Amino acid sequence: MSQDLSFAQVFPRGTTYQTDYDTQLTQKLKEGYTCVINQTWDGKPVSHDGIKIKMHWHFEKIRGAPHKRVVVVEFSAPLHDDPEPEAPPGPTPKLWEHEVVEFFFANNDSHYLEVEVGPHGHWLVLFHKGYRDCFNSGEEVDLDVENTFDMGTWNCKLEIPLAYFPAKVTKFNAYAIHGVGEDRQYEAFSPVTDGGLKNPNFHKLEYFKKIDTLRFIPETYNNQVFVDAKYGNMWSIVAPDDDEVEPKRQKRDNDW
């Protein structure tokens, strides 16, 4: 009895055999995904221009190194010029206490990726295996971020490696925070409009928006966690690696 096999079944995740597939852009991948943060966390209009966001897939062959498979996120936001973190640019714990734009990608098992960026070169990448159940510190994860400024506009471009995403992403939300003290403002792409929350809570996945992942991740890559030679299996705590060849992962002094 014959059986149709998917691409992911024929070629195991994290192998160079997927290279040819990476270069074949579908119409949806060419179009990418766009959205705007133009409401407060509880559904009121914001008092400034909305934050325009675009995401698209990028594959690049790199000679002598693992190929680049990333989701490129670009946005334009008003620069509120809040006080920046005291820490130097780079991974910054509690970045949400400062001016920040955040991106959340979740699946139906409540596994979700949280990516935060600030205008001064700070970022934070966290992996959650359940509601507020984070299993990394954020200090050991790199992120390519480029910030430029045009008068009062903050333009940002960041690259999220495919290996950072949980398997089978179905939901998405984006947030922005700015202001100090009583003037602190919380904004959302998909806000809370049913009165279900009295205070902002960005981890409530039931308020995320269903997303067409095919617009920024090739179809077979969203079926399971991607494991590659550079990053290894970032989600091994919920998706143990079963590939025949275990990918190499750069060891750091603060690995845990």
Q: To 10 degrees, the CA torsion angle through 237, 142, 118, 185?
A: 0
> What topology does CATH give the domain 7-222?
Immunoglobulin-like (2.60.40)
The predicted model gives 237-241 an average pLDDT of 88
Cβ proximity of 202 and 171 under 8 Å: no
Domain ranges of the chain: 7-222
Structure confidence by residue, pLDDT tens digits, 128-183: 999 999 999 999 899 999 999 999 999 999 999 999 999 999 999 999 999 999 99
Structure confidence by residue, pLDDT tens digits, 197-234: 999 999 999 999 999 999 999 988 999 999 988 899 99
Q: What H or E segment, with its residue span, contains residue 70? A: strand 68-78
pLDDT at 223: 92
Residue 65 confidence class, pLDDT cut points 50, 70, 90: confident
Which of these, 110, 127, 126, 123, lies nearest to 168 by C-alpha position? Answer: 110
Cβ proximity of 99 and 92 under 8 Å: no
Q: What H or E segment, with its residue span, contains residue 186? A: strand 185-188
Look at residue 40 and give its three-state secondary structure: strand
Query: Between vectors from CA 92 to CA 159 and to CA 151, what angle results, nearest 5°?
Result: 65
Q: Which residue has the higher pLDDT, 108 or 250?
A: 108
pLDDT at 17: 46
Average pLDDT of the chain is: 88
| Residue 141 DSSP code | -
Residue 246 scores a pLDDT above 80 = no
Encode burial over 70-98: b for 16+ CB neighbours within 10 A, e otherwise: bbbbbbbbbbbebeebeeeeebbeebbeb
Q: What's the pTM?
A: 0.87
The label of the residue with tokens 């992911």 reads: 8
